[in-house]
Amino acid sequence: RGSASLLDEELLPQALHPWRSQGKGMVRVKRDWIIPPIRVSENSKQVPEDLVQIKSDKIFTGEVIYKLEGPGVDQEPKNLFEIDDKTGVIRSKRPLDREKHNSFTLKAFALSPSGERLENPTTIEIVVLDQNDNRPAFAQSQFVGTVSEFSVPGTSVMSVLATDADDPMTENAALSYSIIGQESIPANAVTKTMFGINNQTGAIYTRDVGLDREVVKGFRLKLQVADMGGMGLTSEGVAIIHVSDINNHAPQFSPASYSMTAVENRYDYEIGRVNVTDRDDEGTRNWEAQYSISNNADGHFSISTDPTTNQGILTVVKPLDYEAQSEHILTLTVENLSPLSNKAPNLPLSTAKVVVTVVNENEAPHFREEPIQIVVLESVLPGTLLKSNFAFDPDNSDLRYEKIIRDPERWLEINRDTGDITARRSFNMRSPHVKNNIYTAVVKVTDAGGVSATATVAITLKETNDFPPQLFPLSGSVCKGSSSSGLVLTAVDEDLPPQAAPFFFEIPDDLSVNWTVVQVNSKQRLEAGEYAVTVLVSDSGSPALGAYAQVNVTVCSCDSFGDCKSVAGTLLGSSVGINFLALIIIMASIALLLLLLLLAVALTSCGRRHHIKKGTGLLVGESEDDIRDNVFNYDEQGGGEEDENAFNIDLLWNPHDAPSTPGSFYPGSGIPRGKQPLRKDAPHNLPSPTYPRRPPADPTDIEDYINDGLEAADNDPNVPPYDTALIYDYEGEGSLAGSLSSIASGSSDEDQDYDYLNDWGPRFQKLANMYDPR
């Protein structure tokens, strides 16, 4: 009752399927029948073949139609199975291949003619039984392995692998390995069986001793694998086994003695090679040699290995000296990069003897020091020996000292025979070729073979006291009656420390007895006027140098700011007492003076002069003294911060001293004749600018002419420094400067009366003497 299995095994003759007897019968579970798996052998030749019949046990009045679905029927792979829709017999249509499909699961249906399901579908399981239809195959066409020489029996070499496509759960896939052949490389080097194989795992191992790489390089093994535990189908393969090298042979020199030559004074070049032999595998660390020199204390030689030939390359790395040692005997040793195996013979390291003969060559002269050092005073006397025996020849040949090839100041001289360097003239530390007190020159020396060498001569100059200090300013003013007024003096020295500052100031008693030099002192009243004071200034050099200078001091009445008052202010403030009438007379005199000056300018247009040579100028008269040598410079304030190495002092009036008497100085300067202070704000020995030489034709251009000369003097590096009174020296007769006669020349030849100039005071006395009719 209810659903029943569609299979009636008793309806089919058992003789048709004797191998399916274990599947006979049906089991009913929950009113359904379960059909055991149907087992079908692969590769069957009996096709089509009935496999099973299904039948519904339900009672139908009509016709029952059977259908089959699943892989092998209407799904890939299609057309392997079919069912008779009237009888329900399932049969195979083609041979089956287990290696492609090892089982099939199908569904069977019982339908009415109208397509209605009469009962639930039944599952049909078809299992494909394996047959030994696949040969085993090696995983590689050729296996490669390595074994060290002298390996002991049982040493694992490599493993081989094979596979079989048959069912691994059956004997069809049970594999067995074996070695069926052995060939040595080279052939017949070894004839006994050297290797074995595990028939289940395929592991190859050594079976005997005698693996010597120097005898046999390798083996070729012929392998076989069979299924069914070695009784079934078979396949063959190949295994190549290489015998690897061990370092069992030490390198040996061949030959053990060598002779080589090396040229002195050369290095970094090859002088020869040594040879070794080694029976180990070429190109490996067991074969490559490593050389060493056992007696190379001075480090003149080195040895390296040629990686291709394994030769030792001997090289000179430090210049050899034939005169010091003409022959060197070296001892070489050699070993491999890899340590020697314990299976190698116990022998000492191989050694070789190398005799290196040094070849002499003509060497260049050598200098005992480079550069050649000389320390000398800058004021060294010409002919002084500065340096000797500064070069020698390694070959002991005579030297020829060439001239000094670089001596920009031409201060040096060399003896070509002895090589003595002497001073040609005194040095000057202010030369542009002296850098950091060092003057450099270059000397050349040649030996008898013509080989020469040069060296630098470094002369360190030491400062000497060559210049006396110069005093400035050389003029100034002192306030009359002031308790703190004085003239501050400074000095500058061309020398460098310690030959310059500090300076020492002194007033000689016999030259300026009524003045003194102090830092702070009390003063007494002094009459207004011009005074010349002689001062001696000395430096700190050794020996000390000093210079006399005449300082022109103007004593005047000062205002509240310490500046000299005007003439009118001085007179009004004088203690003598000048009444108003005297002041009127003074003003009238000034007006008269201006009128006379205007008259002189008018007379100039007429071209007439009184007691003046035509073309000589107003300032050049009949006086025997040339006034160009007596120009005074007033209100000189100095160069401010340009005063280097200067020290300040106060020049004060001493009432106990007598009036001073000037010496032989440039008038107005206080500097002895022949001495000219040098400025420190510009280099020495530079060319001076061009001064205007021709006076202007038009008197109105006198100012421009004087200003041009002043600008040229300010930019002249060879004139005194800013702080020094500019010195106008005597220029002699026929000066290119001409005269200034056009300033006051008249326009007629009539005589003029200039006696009133004698009444104008000492300031106009020189002018009055020039126009004195006497």
pLDDT digits (tens, 9 = 90+) for 600-657: 877 775 554 444 344 444 333 344 444 344 444 444 444 444 344 444 444 444 434 4
Cβ 336 vs Cβ 278: under 8 Å:
yes
CA distance 343 to 325: 45
User: Is residue 383 scored above 80 in pLDDT?
Assistant: yes
CA distance 222 to 180: 6
> Which token pair is 543?
């020996």
Q: What per-residue confidence (pLDDT) applies to 602? A: 78
Amino acid at 179: I
Collect all residues with Cβ–Cβ distance below 8 Å to 438 and sequence separation of at least 6. 458, 459, 460, 461
Residue percentage of the chain with pLDDT more than 70: 70
CA distance 127 to 19: 13
Q: What per-residue confidence (pLDDT) applies to 473? A: 80
Closest C-alpha among 371, 307, 358 to residue 328:
358
Residue written as tokens 């003003």? 587
Mean pLDDT lowest among 155-169, 183-197, 410-424 = 410-424
Q: What per-residue confidence (pLDDT) applies to 401? A: 82
Strands 470-472 and 385-387: unpaired
Amino acid at 340: L
Detail the DSSP E strand segments found in 338-480. 350-359, 366-367, 372-377, 385-387, 391-392, 399-401, 412-414, 421-423, 434-435, 438-447, 452-462, 470-472, 475-479
Counting beta carbons within 10 angstroms of the beta carbon of residue 340, is it exposed (0 to 12), middle (13 to 18) or buried (19 or more)?
buried
When pLDDT is cut at 50, 70 and 90, the band that residue 22 belongs to is very low
CA atoms within 13 Å, Cβ hemisphere of 21: 4
CA distance 256 to 331: 10
Q: How far is CA 127 from the centre of its chain?
A: 85
Collect all residues with Cβ–Cβ distance below 8 Å to 595 and sequence separation of at least 6. none
Residue written as tokens 């002249």? 716
Higher-confidence position of 561 and 710: 710
Cβ 272 vs Cβ 353: under 8 Å:
no
CA distance 347 to 150: 19
User: Is residue 77 scored above 50 in pLDDT?
Assistant: yes
CA distance 58 to 106: 22
**Contacts made by residues 447-450, CB under 8 angstroms, sequence distance 24+:** 447/362, 447/363, 447/364, 447/365, 447/393, 447/395, 447/397, 447/398, 447/399, 447/400, 448/393, 448/397, 448/398, 448/400, 449/362, 449/395, 449/397
Whole-prediction pTM: 0.42
Summary count for the chain: helices (H), strands (E) = 4, 45
Collect all residues with Cβ–Cβ distance below 8 Å to 593 and sequence separation of at least 6. 760
pLDDT of 195-224, one tens digit each? Answer: 999 999 999 999 999 899 989 999 999 999
Q: What per-residue confidence (pLDDT) applies to 62? A: 73
Detail the DSSP E strand segments found in 539-646. 546-556
Q: Which of the residue ranges 166-180, 691-705, 732-746 has the most confident prediction, judged by mean pLDDT? A: 166-180
Exposure class string for 414-432: b at 16+ Cβ within 10 A, else e: beeeebbbbbbeebbbebe
CA atoms within 13 Å, Cβ hemisphere of 298: 12
CA angle 655, 636, 490 (to 5 degrees): 65
Counting beta carbons within 10 angstroms of the beta carbon of residue 253, is it exposed (0 to 12), middle (13 to 18) or buried (19 or more)?
buried
Residue written as tokens 């050297």? 194
CA distance 459 to 371: 10
- DSSP SS3 for 454: strand
pLDDT of 521-578, one tens digit each? Answer: 334 445 666 777 777 777 766 677 777 777 777 777 777 666 676 544 444 444 444 4
CA distance 485 to 561: 11
Closest C-alpha among 725, 433, 706 to residue 550:
725
- DSSP SS3 for 757: helix
Counting beta carbons within 10 angstroms of the beta carbon of residue 725, is it exposed (0 to 12), middle (13 to 18) or buried (19 or more)?
buried
CA distance 301 to 316: 5
Closest C-alpha among 241, 193, 196 to residue 220:
241
Exposure class string for 261-300: b at 16+ Cβ within 10 A, else e: ebbbeeeeeebbebbbebebbeebebbbbbbebeebeeeb
Q: What per-residue confidence (pLDDT) applies to 24? A: 36
Residue percentage of the chain with pLDDT more than 90: 24
Mean pLDDT lowest among 158-172, 274-288, 348-362, 455-469 = 455-469
Dihedral class, residue 568 (left if φ above 0, else alpha if ψ from -120 to 50, else beta): alpha
- Identify the helix (H) or strand (E) that includes residue 128: strand 122-129
User: Is residue 673 scored above 90 in pLDDT?
Assistant: no
Collect all residues with Cβ–Cβ distance below 8 Å to 101 and sequence separation of at least 6. 71, 72, 77, 128
Collect all residues with Cβ–Cβ distance below 8 Å to 547 and sequence separation of at least 6. 468, 469, 470, 471, 536, 537, 671, 672, 675
Strands 234-244 and 142-148: parallel
Mean pLDDT lowest among 149-153, 258-262, 346-350, 607-611 = 607-611
> Which token pair is 371?
């550069």
For all residues of the chain together, what is the average pLDDT? 75
- Identify the helix (H) or strand (E) that includes residue 570: helix 567-572
CA distances from 18 to 11, 88, 132, 145, 329 (A): 14, 20, 21, 53, 102
CA distances from 595 to 551, 591, 755 (A): 36, 6, 15
pLDDT of 261-319, one tens digit each? Answer: 999 888 999 999 999 999 988 999 999 999 999 889 889 999 999 999 999 999 999 99
Q: What per-residue confidence (pLDDT) applies to 474? A: 76
CA distances from 459 to 365, 390, 421, 422, 707 (A): 22, 14, 11, 12, 46
Closest C-alpha among 231, 324, 341, 322 to residue 279:
341
Q: What per-residue confidence (pLDDT) applies to 153? A: 93
Counting beta carbons within 10 angstroms of the beta carbon of residue 501, is it exposed (0 to 12), middle (13 to 18) or buried (19 or more)?
middle
Q: What per-residue confidence (pLDDT) applies to 756? A: 75
CA distance 479 to 35: 151
CA distance 634 to 551: 11
